[in-house]
Structure 1
């Protein structure tokens, strides 16, 4: 059994609110593509309360996904310290960040539609990314309940189901009937560590580092340093997709 370091109800830590928020601009009503074509792996490793994660999503990931979401297998992974000697998970920006990470992971893994009528289907990627972008757009207020409720409403996420998942203390990632934010975060953080993605934000394309946002600047970007440009990422995804299909 794992334990959280914050100790409270997952989405009610902090009560700050803002009247305006990041509106979802993604094409969320487009059905999830289930074709047999091979999609290009695209992943962003982030921390939910990190300003570089905010810039990375807003300047590169989200604008690119609006154009190539049907051609990529996209995922958000999180960076946190998973102790080998205890069950505790520590996040760089404090316990509230761990909660924020769990909330975003829960949103991506909830059944969709919520009634489970489409057996095994999870929240469409474009919808869960929109939710994550909404939260991280106001990362200072993560994990305040008003922000989470607002973003959930904007992006069609079941708030009650989200709260149950993020509040679940069960740290068993192999129990599909008890979706747990704690278990999801542990699995995600271990993945980031295994891939040596320790900087928020690290963007990986086709299993290789594409570009890194760190300290307010882009660095370690391929394509002659131009990989932070949306058009360059879109062009490369299209090229890789066409090669494989």
Structure 2
């Protein structure tokens, strides 16, 4: 009975709002649940982040989980330095001063960590399905974590996650042992092209811009501990020194799933 009353009140509020905004009361509208936002504030070479990401990779695989929108936001510092250059025009003896802002990002575990952060951001950029990019991150964490940040390692992990390394070995087999078809080969070529773009992104300006944006997002949230978990834009838990802390709702996989389901019942999107 309570659910029916609440639903009725919600419907009346929506209709009143629609009329107030010039939408006819008979105009059909749809109430949809928005994906639950889950953000892990991390550092790619941090043991606490590796522990945290491993736990949430299992959370994301839970059967019956509501629609989610997971992301990683990286911890670091940004330094914007102004550099002024003065040029003298000999003909007029006048001077012109140009000011350029140089942006640098520093990461707690050094340049390799900044590189690892960037590689993960770039992979997500071209493989946005979280079931794919989360696997990339957790494989990077579990396979040879000391190599996180190395360009060659990022490529090896990506090929492993996408199954390209196995397919490449299969191509070297005698023809009668190969069982691929033209569609598979076309998909493989597309994935390899995307991986080339990931590599280019990781080494170039676009990757750097993604890193700056991510670190700035973390600074805006005021987060400095890796790993800090936000669910539905609210701080939910922290892993510090290998221990789950500040977790009033519990820190098991089941506890996090329950929090996500509770958040899913509160988040709505209205379309007309």
Query: TM-score w.r.t. structure 1 length?
Result: 0.71
In 2, the alpha carbon distance for the partners of 1:69 and 1:124 equals 16
> C-alpha displacement at 1:45, in angstroms?
0.6
Partner of residue 208, structure 1: 234
Structure 1 residues 214, 194: CA separation in 2 closer, same or farther (over 3 Å shift)? Answer: same
Partner of 1:66: 61
2:75 to 75, 79, 82: 79
For residue 69 of structure 1, report the CA deviation from its aligned partner. Answer: 6.1
Alignment of 1:125 with 2:130, yes or no, is yes
* Moved >4 Å (runs of 4+): none
Q: String of CA shifts for 1:89-121, please: whole Å, max 9, x gaps.
A: 1100000110000000001111xxxxxxxxxxx
Residue in structure 2 matched with residue 187 of structure 1 by the alignment:
213
1:22-37 counterparts in 2 under 5 A?
Answer: 37=33
Which deviations, in whole Å up to 9, do the C-alpha atoms of 1:182-202 show, x marking residues without a partner? Answer: 000000000001001111101
More strand as a share of residues = 2
CA distance in 1: counterparts of 2:217 and 2:37, whole angstroms: 14
Aligned partner of 2:147 in structure 1 is 141
Mark the structure with the bigger radius of gyration: 2
Instruction: Work out the CA distance in 1 between the residues paired with 2:133 and 2:65.
Output: 12
Distance 2:32 2:201 in 1: 31
Q: Structure 2: how far apart are the matches of 1:92 and 1:191?
A: 17
Provide, for residues 38-71 of structure 1, a one-character-per-residue CA deviation record: whole Å limited to 9, x for no partner. Answer: 111110010001111111111x211101126652
- Flag structure 1 segments of 5+ consecutive residues without an equivalent: 1-34, 111-121, 171-179
Contact 1:80 1:90 in 2 (8 A): yes
Indicate whether 1:164 and 2:196 are aligned.
Answer: no
Q: TM-score if structure 2 supplies the norm length?
A: 0.64
Query: Could you give the per-residue CA deviations for residues 139-163 of structure 1, whole angstroms, max 9, x where no partner exists?
Result: 3111224431222113336431111
SS at match of 1:48: coil
In structure 1, how many angstroms separate the alpha carbons of the residues matched to 2:235 and 2:145?
A: 25
Q: Is the alpha carbon distance of 1:134 and 1:220 closer, same or farther for their aligned partners in structure 2, counting shifts above 3 Å?
A: same
1:196 and 2:196 are equivalent in the alignment: no
> Does 2:108 correspond to 1:108?
no
Query: Which 5+ residue runs of structure 2 have no aligned equivalent?
Result: 1-30, 82-101, 163-190
**Which has the larger share of helix?**
2
**CA–CA distance in structure 2, aligned partners of residues 201 and 185 of structure 1:** 17
2:39 match: secondary structure: strand
Corresponding residue number in structure 1 for 2:114: 98
Cross-structure match for 1:244: 267
Comparing 101-110 with 155-164, greater Cα deviation is found at 155-164
- Residue 46 of structure 2 is aligned to residue 50 of structure 1: yes
